[in-house]
Amino acid sequence: MSSEQTSYRVVLNDEEQYSIWWTDRALPAGWQAEGTEGTREECLARIAQVWTDMRPLSLRERLAA
């Protein structure tokens, strides 16, 4: 399958860190589907839109305390 035909999904972990993963493969341990699926470019655009603070959730919470 060429990269233009490959379908991806946006995934995130418990630390609210984002990545992309192939839709035809099982998700790796610790990651869940965010809900967006499409081309690599579409998924990366979604991540750029929603992942505005790159710090892990645990660090953000620690700094807010």
pLDDT per residue over 24-65, tens digit each? 999 999 999 999 999 999 999 999 999 998 888 888 888 889
Residues paired with residue 39 on neighbouring β-strands, in sequence order: none
The secondary structure element, H or E, covering residue 33 is strand 31-38
All domains of the chain in start order, with CATH = 8-64 (3.90.820.10)
pTM for this prediction? 0.82
- Residue 43: per-residue pLDDT: 98
The secondary structure element, H or E, covering residue 61 is helix 57-64
Residues paired with residue 12 on neighbouring β-strands, in sequence order: 18, 32
The secondary structure element, H or E, covering residue 9 is strand 8-13
